Amino acid sequence: MRAIVVRTPGGLDALSLEDVDPPELRPNDVRIRVEACGVCFHDVVTRNGTLRRGVEMPLIPGHEVSGIVESVGPAVRDFRPGDRVATLQRRSICGRCRYCRNDQETACPKQEFLGDMGLNGGYAELVCVSEDNVAHVPDGVALDEAAIVACTVGTELNAIRDVAGVRIGERVVINGAGGGLGIHGVQLAHIAGAEVIAVTGSLGKAETIRAAGADHVVVYQRGEDFSARVKALTGGEGADVAIDNVGSHTFDAMRRSLALRGRWIFIGQLSGDFVRLNPAQLFLRGLSIHSAQSTNRRQLWDCLDLVRRGLVRPVIADRIPLERAADAHQMVEQAAPAGRILLKPSL
């Protein structure tokens, strides 16, 4: 099969189009003919060596997959060839640990993150994923849309609904609001009944962000402290919840944007940079820091249903052939697209 392979960490030239053997079909696996695979910043930091934990090369990147079931392992019960499916971000989980048994399989210590190790990832014509990490795509949901639901919508749902517990009327500030995750976080915070303050570094994405449901859009220059503008939009109080898709680049500005007793939910970290923090900056204002780590099965089902009902619209910036994976990575690194870029092996 054709696949994009990364053999050693590096720049865009580390992405090599190769012919490789299809991945091994294990007893609990579903083998999927890939229709589309989203390009996530996670793929960029895996490819360039910033992310090292759990990464084993050579590898085929890609964890946002949709397609048609080609074959199934002998232990698979719920999927058949021809089914339309989408995946979670993991190839497999143990299914037995206290996390897997408690609806927290994103923390499974034996999980295999799809695309981070070995020649089995979504930048390929075929991919194998255990049935615990695959979902049926509802009628009326396009496979292109379904590909990105787990990562872009599911992770934001995890942060906004399940970790932050956003309530009607609360103020939510979301950075990276024009990116693949942030644009869907804006939609989810809006339907949750929040007043949404979207922060972006791109003036060109402002109208798309407003159309997604933002009540306010703050456009800033890199390195700028935008917190004064967030405070002004909230009568000087700040936001009740911060959904942080960026990490260290905007760390101080996001902290200063929070109201007393604010909840700060980390999702993304776009660099290997560290931050400095005096703990008093948290406890004297009653701030709490949490994280949302990918998506569990229940969240994926909920998100696919939100898309089916038209309450969330997956935002796809472009669809490009597999052999142009380097172009896709370059666009993601430059924060060029509003929404997600899809790689499509069939183009």
Confidence (pLDDT) at 271: 79
Q: Which residue has the tokens 């949901």?
A: 141
Q: Which residue has the tokens 């998506």?
A: 295
* Same CATH fold assignment for domains 2-148+314-344 and 153-291: yes
SS (H, E, C) 253-302: HHHHCEEEEEEEEECCCCCCCCCCCCCHHHHCCCCEEEECCCCCHHHHHH
Q: Does domain 2-148+314-344 have CATH number 3.40.50.300?
A: no
Q: What is the pLDDT along the chain (347 residues), one digit of tens a residue?
A: 999 999 999 999 999 999 999 999 999 999 999 999 999 999 999 999 999 989 999 999 999 999 999 999 999 999 999 999 999 999 999 999 999 999 899 999 999 999 999 999 999 999 999 999 999 999 999 999 999 999 999 999 999 999 999 999 999 999 999 999 999 999 999 999 999 999 999 999 999 999 999 999 999 998 899 999 999 999 999 999 999 999 889 999 999 999 999 999 999 887 778 888 889 999 999 999 999 999 999 999 999 999 999 999 999 999 999 999 999 999 999 987 789 999 999 99
Confidence (pLDDT) at 336: 79
Evaluate the CA torsion angle 290, 295, 299, 305 in order and state its sign: positive
- For residues 296 and 161, is the Cβ–Cβ distance under 8 A? no
Confidence (pLDDT) at 291: 95
Confidence (pLDDT) at 216: 98
Helix, strand, or coil (residue 303)? helix
CATH number of this structure's domain 153-291: 3.90.180.10
Which of 38, 51, 50, 57 has the alpha carbon at shortest distance from 119? 57
User: Which residue type does 60 have?
Assistant: I
Structural domain boundaries in the chain: 2-148+314-344, 153-291
Confidence (pLDDT) at 272: 79
- For residues 290 and 165, is the Cβ–Cβ distance under 8 A? no
